Amino acid sequence: MSEATRLPVLAVLGAADATADEEQVAEAVGALAARRGWVVLTGGGPGVMAAASRGAVAAGGLTLGILPNERPDAGYPNPWVRIGVFTGAGSARNAFNVLSATLCVAIGGGAGTLSEIALALKAGVPVWCWHSWQVQPPPPHGRTPPRIFEDRRALLEALDVQLQERVPGGGTRAPA
């Protein structure tokens, strides 16, 4: 599939045991991505993953869950996953999440989220973090570090601009 016909994919990364604030931000991020025509990809479980999927579905978007298990089990997939990919790969599925993404947004998270951030950096996939891990590649690796946000409004405003720059179908929005 050519990059020109591929739908842009926003991977929302974060923990199953998220805080209420993390879930609110994830829901807003999912809804914003859906309104801009992006597919919302998550690990398909509860917490941040469910909130981002819920926001995307409420905004009329498409959600994809890359699931760690072979069949439905213990909150996987969450009710808002429209396309579930059962991998049976456990945590190794984190690589599938970030390699399928155009952009990753990490919200809170534990060690699994940290592994996804590292895998995205290794693959050259941009990562934005809100109240998540703050990692800085050592010189001279030349990797772009994650973009860090502490303010939810700043994250959503910057994300809105970024999502508009890449429209479905792989193109970019023409300058006004």
pLDDT tens track for 107-134: 999 999 999 999 999 999 999 999 999 8
User: How far, in Å, CA of 3 to CA of 135, rounded?
Assistant: 29
Residue 167 predicted with pLDDT over 60: no
Residue 5 — pLDDT band, cuts 50, 70, 90? confident
Indicate the fold that domain 9-110+120-135 takes in CATH. Rossmann fold (3.40.50)
pLDDT tens track for 12-33: 999 999 999 999 999 999 999 9
CB 44 within 8 A of CB 66: yes
Question: Where are the domains positioned within the chain?
Answer: 9-110+120-135
Structure tokens at 28: 């807003």
User: How far, in Å, CA of 71 to CA of 88, rounded?
Assistant: 8
3-class DSSP assignment, residue 104: strand
Q: What is the pTM for the complete model shown?
A: 0.91
pLDDT of residue 176: 36
